A and B are shown apart, each in its own frame.
Chain A
Amino acid sequence: MLVYTVKRLGLSVAIILVATAVLFVMVFAIPGDPVSVALGPRASPSVVEAFRERMGLDQPLPIQMLRFYGNLLTGNLGHDVLSGRSVATMVLEQLPYSLTLIAGAMVWSVALGVPLGCYAAMRRGSAVDSIVGVLSVGTIAIPSFVVAIYLLLIFAIGLGWLPAIGAGRSGEFGDQLVHLILPSLAVGLGWVGYLARMVRSTMLEVMGESHIRMAHAFGLPPRLVIFKYALRIAILPTLTLLGLGIGQMLSGTVFAEIVFARPGVGQLVYDAVSVRNYPVVTGAVLVTTAFYVLATLAADLLVASLDPRIRTSLRQ
């Protein structure tokens, strides 16, 4: 387990370093240097010079890159071009809102996806099974921003049951929860389909294994066999899937935050893009990418600790 953990951790760090380098090269390889991007074409030469010096852009590229990595190690992601605030602070301020949204989306996808998949596996080949199958593919295919807009249109504007915008008054848990229902459903709906499919196929696989047949032969009630013995194993691949899902859910939160006008990392980056505030954009992209890599790492380690077969082979 230790060897696996170290290898897997090393791989994750390498991926984050390379992703950072890719982003760095992108920023500097693109025509029109960051100064004109940030200040616009009408900035006076003296302002441009001061800006270059402040941002360290007067140094050669490799030095800049080393500095960039050095700053990263100390948690410095650079500064907002407009306000001069630390990007790391700005992102960390907004991150809890996005994480809450992802957590809500996961609750939706597990609460709907696991029972649906389980039920479909128990009634294999029935009409319910095919309906769950079509629904799964459908929810996976339809983009989350279309779902978000139509949820807003139906439940907030049309029926008026739920609030349309914002994250709720701070400090009032109930109000915030009510504001979370629609956006988290929009982000999580696609994952209902993924989870239902995954749980269904692993359940079918597990049900054929000898210890399950043994439990049946032993005369245990079918419900007990399914929920205590089969589902427990069938849920493992779902963990990996959820770890991978965080990356796509992060994309989904950007849309949900904009459609429902919620604060969050997506909203922060979106606002920064329109004024070409590139340090905020790259900083936030780095944080979310690192977050995704670490989430998949956590999911892999969790599954490896539950299933010894995985530890022996590091996927490459």
Chain B
Amino acid sequence: MTRAFEPASANSAVAHAGRPRRRRPDWLRHLMADRLGMFGLVLVALVVIGAVFADVLTSYDPIRMSPRDRFAAPGLDHLMGTDNLGRDLFTRVLHGGRIALTVAMAATAASLALGVSLGLVAGYGPRWLDNALILLFDALRSFPTVMLALALVTLIGPSLAAVILVVVLSGAPSYGRIVRTQVISLKRAEFVLAERSMGAGTARILFVHLLPNVIGPILILASMDIPVVITIEAGMSFLGLGVPPPTPSWGNILNDGFSFIRESIWPVIAGGVPIIVATLGFTFLGEALRDTFDPRIRKDM
């Protein structure tokens, strides 16, 4: 399955030995040669710039209604038109990008932290704990994501926290399983035995010695999961299970637009196209990053 992390530059460095020193490192040249990856980077940059400079790029308020302007077609006043309450869709899309990126970062960080720590414990701990955690991981992974989301929201109600909880519960087990497999293959390695014979504690071995060895592939997998997180957030909001309205989220825009799809097509287009741009962009970029840093990592489906 997933093997230990080795930078791909190890081989190419040998190949280029003897040439004059270049300013750009190998990995960067490799990455920039990947045309699809660069296209992904442009899409991601569009989303990020839109989200960061939302207040500068438009003068409208994303929430204030203006019923007289409802269902306007795209034009100079409203670049993407307006929705059923007369709100400027371009503004809402930019602000929706903030929600999408915030959730993507927060939820990915949380599921990484939980998954990696549990994976370290499972791999290094006693056999029974390993078995118990693996069973828990597999049980959590067997819930269909949307079903898990529906169950959680029935209990705690729709909120940003519910979205993050769903991402963590569905994502952390995969990271945990991969880290655990790698820790098991490393824990009998000589550098770990040496450290232990010199009296290092378990925490030191786990976090100072094992963690740096397993974190590389996991970070790349996490970057490839960003489109999945964006999909979960948008999907839950579309079902009314995520970020509660009137907060602009791409899923909310799509939900509002879908209710009035026969009156105007612009809200649905404004809600869906950013989701496509973001998921495609992060996917192309993530694949390029993976190919650059380790062509052998394969997503553990």
Contacts and interface: CB of A to CB of B under 8 A. Distances in A.
Contact of A22 (B36, B139, B231): B139
24 contacts: A16-B142, A18-B136, A19-B142, A26-B152, A134-B36, A137-B284, A138-B280, A141-B227, A143-B235, A143-B275, A146-B275, A146-B276, A149-B272, A150-B272, A157-B262, A241-B301, A251-B147, A255-B146, A255-B235, A269-B147, A285-B147, A285-B150, A288-B144, A316-B134
Interface string A114-128: 000000000000000
Contacts of A278: 154-155
A190 to B, nearest CB: 10
Contacts, number: 131
Contacts of B234: 143, 145-146
Contacts of B146: 250-251, 254-255, 266
Interface residues of A, number: 55
B279 interface: yes
B138 to A, nearest CB: 5
Chain B contact surface mostly? helix
A141 B279 contact: yes
B144 A281 contact: no
Interface in B244-277: 254, 258, 261-262, 265, 268, 272, 275-276
B3 to A, nearest CB: 16
Residue in A134, A141, A153, A259 whose Cβ sees the most chain B Cβ within 10 Å: A141
A16 B135 CA distance: 10
Given A18-B135, A143-B234, A153-B268, A273 B143 contact: no
Chain A contact surface mostly? helix
Contacts of A149: 254, 258, 261, 268, 272
Contacts of B258: 149, 259
Interface residues of B, number: 45
A250 B142 CA distance: 11
Contact of B154 (A18, A142, A273, A293): A273
A247 B145 CA distance: 8
Interface in A231-279: 241, 244, 247-248, 250-251, 254-255, 258-259, 266, 269-270, 272-274, 276-278
B139 A285 contact: no
Interface in B151-178: 151-156
A64 interface: no
A150 B265 CA distance: 10
A30 B155 contact: yes
A142 B265 contact: no
A250 B150 CA distance: 13
A14 interface: yes
A26 B155 contact: yes
B22 to A, nearest CB: 28
B150 A273 contact: yes
B148 interface: yes
Nearest to B265: A153
B34 interface: no
B235 A140 contact: no
A266 B276 CA distance: 24
Interface string A98-139: 000000000000000000000000000000000000100110
A153 B284 CA distance: 27
B283 interface: yes
Residue in A30, A149, A247, A277 whose Cβ sees the most chain B Cβ within 10 Å: A149
A285 B151 contact: yes
A191 interface: no
Given A15-B138, A138-B280, A258-B239, A146 B147 contact: no
Contacts of B136: 18, 22
Contact of A27 (B155, B238, B239, B262): B155
Given A146-B254, A273-B153, A288 B147 contact: yes
A180 interface: no
B142 A247 contact: yes
Nearest to A296: B142
Nearest to B138: A15
Nearest to A315: B1
Interface in B36-59: 36
Nearest to B238: A145
A150 B282 CA distance: 21
A254 B146 CA distance: 7
A23 interface: yes
A120 to B, nearest CB: 15
B140 interface: yes
Nearest to A27: B155
A288 B138 CA distance: 15
Interface string A3-47: 000000001001110110111001100100000010000000000
Contacts of B239: 254-255, 258, 270
A289 interface: yes
Contacts of A97: none
Given A30-B156, A137-B36, A142-B280, 10 more contacts: A37-B155, A141-B227, A141-B279, A143-B235, A149-B268, A254-B146, A255-B146, A276-B154, A289-B143, A292-B144
A288 B135 CA distance: 18
B26 interface: no
